Structure 1
Amino acid sequence: MSTCATASRDLDEPLAGTAATARTWLLLEQPGPWGAKALTSSHLDPEVGRALEAAVETTGVRIALIRRPGRHADCHTPARPRVYAAHTVPGNAWLRSHVVDDPRQLLDLDFAGLGAGDHGGFGVPHTGDPLALVCTNGKRDRCCALLGRPLAGELVASGEEGVWEVTHLGGHRFSPTLLVLPHGYAYGRTAAPAVKEILQGVREGRVVTEGCRGSSAWERPGQAAELAVRRAAREDAAGALSVVRTTGDAPRWDVTVAHTDGRRWRVTVAQGASLPPRPESCGAALASPARMDVMAVRETT
């Protein structure tokens, strides 16, 4: 039986401009099984999950559950779960880690501040390997389990230290999907050798654009525009480019991308429809997902 990921790959659906949007990610360790809506259908207290969902609304923070790859028996639940917070906006990107005695403690966080890039002293700076978050939640879409879990396992077996499974990154049809922190670039249709190259790039302060869906710091038109400028300017430095202005509305935007050296580009992005129709998730009706098409990239003075 064909899957949504197979259909998307066979139809060569473009990846750029499809990343989830989040200026800041908050990741809570929660082993064991995950339901389709994991914050309220896992071993996390659903009351806490609902409260966290409500607390992050409109703040620019996206919350997800993570667990180490492998078997997920309840006996592996840590006494004190690990929490990561990562801000992804260039010029102020950071990744911090903490352990909590009770996930309820997270409700005391200043989520608006986190979304704006102020960690408020949360945890300590993460100094280890970059985080490679692989979506594996088969309850949301079977492709994430069928393709994501083997990828996460292969990465761990190869010696990568920062690998976690994550509940949801959006875009099931691009499975296996990956988010890399601290810079917040998302990838689709990834294989282990490509992920290792991506992670080595992060260690060296570089962004690999092959297979990249975009930076979660930007809205979808900005994601596509920034990647287009990276390719046009042959710029791979992680913090070099920022989306500083977006004008217009669907189906057409003008996006201004700025370089730290003062250069600027005006990028025209148009929203198109992916044809022929295909399922956006396994078992869903056929649809024509929106796509971000870069129409022009012009360097300005």
Structure 2
Amino acid sequence: MAEPADRFDRCSVQATGRGDPMVGSAFPASRLLLVEQPGPWGRTGLLASRFDTAVAHRLVARLEAAGIRVVAIRRPGRHVADGARRWAAVDCRPDREQVTWGRFDQDRDLLELDVAAVLERPAGRSGEAGTGDTASDQPEYLVCAHGTHDACCAIRGRPVAAALEALRPGRVWECSHVGGDRFAANLLVLPAGLLYGRVQPEQVAGLVEITDRGVVDAGGLRGRVGFGSAEQAAMVLAHQRFPAAGWRDVRVTGADRSDPHRIVVALRVAGTEVRVQVHASQAPPQWLTCQAGAPGRAMVYAPTLLPA
């Protein structure tokens, strides 16, 4: 198996050619802290940027221990932040979906931010008077453009971010690694937590239109963050079979993992009870990222709708 050598052998090109399945591949964290950090990012994102290194390590360690994922963000293009930068605490948990925005002047200011407390506020509630943060459930679009993590993310992500910015100015961000480099361009819609893969610039207008209506493009959906891979795969299948169902209409009600290779997920889809069997297996060894030192084996999740 030859190592990828040029743009025709990049991981996203190979994965598309192989038809690598995407379903069930969104990350498991349901809560995030977005940190605006313009300029270049190293392979580890915020930890390898112009952000204070010691502060970044303390911040990431504390929040990851609480199950909160830290993601670096910046405006599309070569925007340079002037003055205070922005942070956002994002909750993707069912019935709690919202993004709470605030501002910070110095990197160390974020160590004083009680992110968990912000996330535990009731949905729709902003901070107390004088705190300056605001909560919203309006869609925000994050496109992975983390080129030092994988070149495919920058090559494919930046045009998608630019196309989105033209349609929804001020609600689009380039972001650091969200997983699945070979599925670039990767688009994360918040606070719904919908992670799309293989997004093309010409698809952006359609995605924005259906997002505004609260529905889903099941064909490009990798999964919904915060859920296990089998649950994500079952939800993707539900959206395929019930295309009129919005993302709020598909609910996980249970899962039987007695057979780890055939997981049965119970769903409620717009009031209808549905059961999906998800077959979990390992794919053959493949080059999964452009920077991989050796082939790896990805998990594959194949959902099947069970009879009522």
TM-score in terms of structure 1 length: 0.88
Quick check: 1:256 aligned with 2:273?
no
Please say if residues 4 and 278 of structure 1, whose CA atoms lie closer than 8 Å, have aligned partners that are also in contact. Answer: no
CA contact (8 A) 2:237 2:303 kept: yes
Trace 1:136-147 onto structure 2 (pairs within 5 A). 136-147=145-156
Q: Is 1:51 equivalent to 2:48 in the alignment?
A: no
1:195 to 204, 208, 220: 204
Question: Does the CA-based 8 Å contact 2:159-2:201 persist in structure 1?
Answer: no
Counterpart residue number, 1:175: 184
Give the aligned CA root-mean-square deviation in angstroms: 2.3
Are residue 18 (structure 1) and residue 25 (structure 2) matched? yes
Query: Are residues 1:131 and 2:140 paired?
Result: yes
SS in 1 for 2:96: coil
> CA shift at 1:111, angstroms?
4.4
Deviation at 1:117, TM superposition (A): 7.0
Q: Against the structure 1 CA distance between its residues 183 and 24, is the aligned structure 2 distance closer, same or farther, given a 3 Å change threshold?
A: same
Partner Cα distance (1:117, 1:252) in 2:
37
- Counterpart residue identity of residue 81, structure 1: R
The amino acid of 1:17's aligned partner reads G
Q: Please tell me the residue identity of whatever aligns with 1:209.
A: A
SS of residue in 1 equivalent to 2:185: coil
Q: Structure 2: how far apart are the matches of 1:172 and 1:229?
A: 25
Match of 1:281 among 266, 284, 289: 289
Aligned to 1:234: 243
Shift of 1:266: 1.9
Tell me the alpha carbon deviations over residues 268-287 of structure 1, each in whole angstroms, 9 at most, x when there is no partner: 11212223x32111132222
| Aligned residues of 1:27 and 1:65 also touching (Cα < 8 A) | yes
SS of 1:264's equivalent in the other structure is strand
CA 1:256/1:114 → structure 2, altered by over 3 Å: closer, same or farther? farther
Structure 2, unaligned runs of 5 or more: 1-5, 128-132
Give, in whole Å, the separation in 2 of the partners of 1:234 and 1:294.
16
- Structure 2 residue 14 is matched with structure 1 residue 7: yes
Are the equivalent residues in 2 in contact too, given 1:242–1:257 (CA < 8 A)?
yes
CA drift of 1:105 comes to 3.2
Of 108-117 and 94-103, the range deviating more from structure 2? 108-117
* Aligned-residue offset at 1:25: 2.0
Q: 1:268 to 1:46 in 2, by over 3 A?
A: same
Secondary structure of 1:210's counterpart equals: helix
Stretch deviating more after TM superposition (104-113 or 139-148):
104-113
Q: Distance in 1 between matches of 2:53 and 2:60?
A: 10
- Per-residue CA deviation, residues 173-213 of structure 1 (Å, 9 max, x unaligned), is 00111101121100111012322222222212222212110
2:229 equivalent in structure 1? 220
Which residues of 2 match residues 32-71 of structure 1 at below 5 A? 32-71=39-78
Deviation beyond 3 Å, 4+ runs, structure 1: 108-122, 157-161, 295-299
Deviations 1:38-89 (A, max 9, x none): 12110111111111211122433211010011126xxx23321111222112
Contact 1:90 1:240 in 2 (8 A): no
**Deviation of 1:290 (Å):** 0.8
How many matched pairs? 293
Matched, 1:87 2:95: no
Contact 1:21–1:217 (Cα < 8 Å) also in 2: yes
The 10-residue stretch of structure 1 (56-65 or 103-112) with the greater mean CA deviation from structure 2: 103-112
Q: Letter of the aligned partner of 1:254 in structure 2?
A: V
Whether the 8 Å contact between 1:60 and 1:116 is mirrored in structure 2 is no
CA contact (8 A) 1:241 1:260 kept: yes
Tell me, in whole angstroms, the C-alpha distance in 2 between the residues paired with 1:144 and 1:220: 22
CA contact (8 A) 1:253 1:268 kept: yes
User: Counterparts of 1:125 and 1:211 in 2: how far apart (Å)?
Assistant: 28
Structure 1 residue 289: deviation in Å? 0.9
How far is the alpha carbon of 1:172 from its aligned partner? 0.3
Task: Name the CA shift for 1:48/1:250 in 2 (closer, same or farther; >3 Å).
Answer: farther
Query: Identity over aligned residues, as a percent?
Result: 31
Report the secondary structure of 2:25's partner residue. coil
Whether the aligned pair in 1 keeps the contact of 2:137 and 2:191 (CA below 8 Å) is no
Question: Is the 1:222–1:243 Cα contact (8 Å) retained in structure 2?
Answer: yes
